Amino acid sequence: MEDFLEKLQENQSKKVQEVRAIPPLVLAYIGDAIFEVYVRNHLITQTKMLVGAYHRDAIGYVKAQSQATIVRTLEAELSEEEWRVIKKGRNQKPATVPKNADLMDYKYATGFEALIGYLFYMGKTERLMEVMSRSMEILDKR
């Protein structure tokens, strides 16, 4: 586990040009995992329920439609740099689209996940936490 944590710290200290060279879908791949863990922790710290219920509720937060809602709601709060990352992720051609997701929602969700990955690798932990916290506020109001 210590090796894993050391690797995370190494990855977060990448230079700006190294992070900008990471393909958007790779940023989205790690962003998806980070957001999933954040959502699970959010649910566990907010409520007490069975694991199956946690899983069901987590799906409601991480599905493409929810992430697209986050992006559309946060748009005015994002910097130009953050919006650029979202657009790069959004504009990638997906290999597949989940059967229960609208294509545009899926693209915006990919952009959102790319932003999460980007903030993580840039070491912008405070901003990463702000974005994810705001995301929970947006989705909890539904």
Choose, from 3, 32, 57, 140, the residue flagged as catalytic.
Answer: 32
Domain ranges, residue 56: 2-140
CATH of the domain at 19: 1.10.1520.10
CA pair distance 47, 28, nearest whole angstrom: 28
Query: SS3 letters for 8-29?
Result: HHHHHCCCHHHHHCCCHHHHHH
pLDDT in tens, 51-78: 877 888 888 889 999 999 999 999 999 9
**Could you tell me if 59 and 74 are in contact, meaning their C-beta atoms sit under 8 angstroms apart?**
no
At residue 1, does pLDDT exceed 50? no
DSSP class of residue 83 equals: H
pLDDT in tens, 89-130: 999 987 777 778 888 999 999 999 999 999 999 989 999 999
Counting the structural domains of the chain, the total is 1
Let me know if 32 is a catalytic residue: yes
CA pair distance 36, 3, nearest whole angstrom: 22
Give φ, ψ of 74 to 5 degrees. Answer: -80, -10
